[in-house]
A and B are shown apart, each in its own frame.
Chain A
């Protein structure tokens, strides 16, 4: 396509609507309009100019507001659909099969369909991520398509505009002036914080041009944010681990090499409704108990570099800390969060080896439920041998005892008891509820004596190096939104024509009320001719014509 040469002699890029230099309309359609289309200053936008190659088509697709809004609406509906039933991460099931079964069991056929469509993991689904990606592309292309020509045009704008441009502005004034009109107008406009530039017989007063960049700035913020979210997939940027630690235990922190954590204890406090808390009495009575504090007291150790793995002899205390909800423990880019707890987890179980008939005891044994021993030697040579240990006994499969989890929730023991009376040994399978004697009746039994319990804390280990990027994106977005919405770009063009008369035009990207208030002051100070709002005039005329018809 050829360049467009305006009557004023300026060469405009193809597709320009209003001459960049003097503002004359460059096509017939624009010439016939009563008001100039000032949205992008009548510049040539790539998307409105080329539509030949495949690249043009893609560019035009993504630069369209219609397409952008379409993507937003589809995303909005998809996001809402994902809240109808809980997402898989909030479902008490872990394996894929269990999750699938959960949706069917709890929600019936609706749940089955929901799961089959992939809505149980909607936000990680391929198509949802593609949609977000399309939104990002649209943000970039639509911004470039508008920003580049708008920037060039505002940068190159001239003071003197052609009278056809002036007459097609919404705010226009024309009438007699005196020798000092321009001078006085300049004075007042400068006082109103306008930037005034003059050229021969005219002036251009401008204020708040930066507000025009607001939309592009906020889009940049959003793109930075989305980029930060993408960055999490890179190794090393993001750690998300769970650490279950029992009171008194010392454990290496997963994914935080060199760091070891010891738990001094877990505390759960509830509101008592007494003293200071008396005012909460009614609420506490209604709901039962209300938690006041979840806290794990920990000691953080560091293993010096160069130490062999598993060698904890030289570790140094880094810090003692209380981890509470809303008060994560931060160190070296990591943070530990109080997320979960398990109270009264079984720690040990004690038994007495008793003769069933006489009740005579041959001694006590205590089994550590996390690290059980294999042999427990008692008085007079009696031995209890632990043949099998099932921390969370869940039943028999093919005659073999099974454990559901490695946590000691429902311990089962397969033991062989040997006493001087029964030198060949007797086998017994013991759980909390009952005892099975698989190889026939025994003379001896393990009589339950008691348990020791302790609390365990569920901590989340987190490292997220993308946070500063996300924060920056959010900040830029907010700046852009405020810039574009709370400020506006106002301009006045004033020319004194050869016969001394004044021609004035005014434009703003929004808030015409504010523009008129400024102009009222200038008009009064410089005795400018009265202005009119051409759009309001047109609307009033349409209304009159409409009324005449009815």
Chain B
């Protein structure tokens, strides 16, 4: 087995460990009917041990991949997003050591699983660095950012648990709707993973010729049956589904097709869940939060932001500016990724001012923490894949 194989096997081990630990954490929380902490502690210990094994294994993946590629493995969507899953779990382990909160594991680990699964939908072969990335600032800037984002995501997880407990599932309300919307969007990510995996395993490929937005002839390979066709498309593969709708040149119909497939499969999955359990997902999760200490969740939410915000400022703004000055000759150029890092910074600055200056703790804080995570995910997913800019390394 080569080192590269060992590396990817370690990632599999981590994935499976997180998967198992999720259920053990769930059992630890669920089994604790009386609200005493003894049984939760016992199963919690088993679960955290499995989590730590997974984490160590993922760190092993990270280090071995670093050795194989010769550069910090954070240079494309696959590598960055897996690392994000790793820092998320790392942050959780630290908080578990401090507060012994099994329920946090039950929420963080599935999110980390989704993130890693999402990452593995991108090309994962080791790739060389383009000139702009050949510097130590790659490791310094990106690792700081990914650590900060992992910690900030923990605050969202704590916020989510807070909301799962306090939002009344019996009464119709805006809160109930939006909380379920968060659950639905998580299922959509699962929909994307399921669809991509299915078509990858079945080796679906369809080539089309088209005219791009600059009027040049180009070619594209769809890995899912084309629902939308590129501008003036011509099928090049026999027997492939002919696109139902042709898009104008500025719309990337290939990506739009992927989005629609994920949306459809995700919605079907969600509908199935609702049909089988006859409950909202948030209502299904609510019983798990029965013994949750709200004050503690609020504290974790705030604490993670207090730790994450300075690290984020350092990594995503200051280190980013230093590197931008070296590589692109200007420390700031209003590139979409830069702007969204600033948006994230401003958002958490607003959070801190609202919390410290206007007493926005508890539920308000929880909502803000969840919105912060949405902004981070938008910057990771949408800005890389939809909005073209200097950071489009996927």
Contacts and interface: CB of A to CB of B under 8 A. Distances in A.
Contacts of B285: none
A283 B340 contact: no
A83 B339 CA distance: 7
B383 interface: yes
Contacts, number: 126
Given A66-B358, A106-B213, A283 B125 contact: yes
A326 B327 contact: yes
B128 interface: yes
B187 to A, nearest CB: 26
A60 B335 CA distance: 36
Given A79-B342, A325-B132, A481 B125 contact: no
A75 interface: yes
- The SS class assigned to the A binding surface is helix
Given A76-B347, A335-B329, A337-B329, A325 B339 contact: no
Contact of B250 (A89, A107, A478): A107
Nearest to A75: B346
Contacts of B132: 325-326
Interface stretch (A11-19, A289-297, A426-434, A448-456): A289-297
A25 interface: no
A65 interface: yes
Interface in B348-391: 349-350, 353-354, 357-358, 383, 387-389
B340 A292 contact: no
Contacts of A462: 329-330
Contacts of B333: 89
Contacts of A93: none
A116 interface: no
Nearest to A108: B248
B329 A72 contact: no
A292 B328 CA distance: 17
A546 B187 CA distance: 37
B4 A279 contact: yes
Interface string A277-306: 101101110100011111000000000000
Interface stretch (B12-20, B103-111, B235-243, B305-313): B305-313
Contacts of A86: 388-389
Interface in A441-487: 460, 462, 464, 467, 470, 474, 477-478, 481-482, 485-486
A80 B343 contact: yes
Contacts of A292: 128, 130-131
A177 interface: no
A339 B329 contact: yes
A292 B354 CA distance: 47
A339 B307 CA distance: 37
A154 interface: no
A79 B310 CA distance: 21
B131 A324 contact: yes
Contacts of A279: 4, 68-69, 126
A529 interface: no
Contact of A69 (B307, B350, B389): B350
A486 B310 CA distance: 10
A68 interface: yes
B331 interface: yes
Contact of B313 (A66, A69, A89, A477): A477
A324 B387 CA distance: 28
Interface string B298-342: 000000001101100110011001000111111101111001101
B131 A283 contact: no
A76 B328 CA distance: 24
Contacts of B358: 65-66, 69
Given A66-B358, A467-B325, A478-B313, A76 B130 contact: no
Contacts of A84: 387
B130 A291 contact: yes
A271 interface: yes
Interface string A113-139: 000000000010000000000000000
B287 interface: no
A291 B131 contact: yes
Contacts of B335: 90
A325 B128 contact: no
Contacts of A335: 329
Nearest to B249: A106
Contacts of B310: 478, 481-482, 485-486
A72 B350 contact: yes
B127 A79 contact: no
Contacts of A69: 350, 353-354, 357-358
Nearest to A280: B128
A8 interface: no
A202 interface: no
Contacts of B200: none
B387 to A, nearest CB: 6
A277 B71 CA distance: 13
B340 A80 contact: yes
Interface string A315-345: 0000000001110100000010101000000
Contact of A481 (B126, B309, B321, B339): B309
A478 B127 CA distance: 35
Given A76-B347, A283-B125, A470-B331, A326 B314 contact: no
A485 to B, nearest CB: 5
Given A279-B68, A294-B131, A286 B329 contact: no
Given A68-B357, A69-B357, A283-B127, 5 more contacts: A90-B389, A123-B334, A290-B128, A337-B328, A481-B310
Interface of A: 65-66, 68-69, 72-73, 75-76, 79-80, 82-84, 86-87, 89-90, 106-108, 123, 240, 271, 277, 279-280, 282-284, 286, 290-294, 324-326, 328, 335, 337, 339, 460, 462, 464, 467, 470, 474, 477-478, 481-482, 485-486
26 contacts: A65-B354, A68-B353, A79-B339, A80-B339, A83-B336, A83-B387, A84-B387, A87-B334, A106-B249, A106-B250, A108-B248, A240-B330, A279-B4, A280-B127, A283-B127, A290-B128, A292-B131, A293-B131, A294-B131, A326-B137, A337-B329, A467-B325, A467-B331, A481-B313, A485-B306, A486-B310
Interface of B: 4, 68-69, 123, 125-128, 130-132, 134-135, 137, 213, 248-250, 306-307, 309-310, 313-314, 317-318, 321, 325-331, 333-336, 339-340, 342-343, 346-347, 349-350, 353-354, 357-358, 383, 387-389
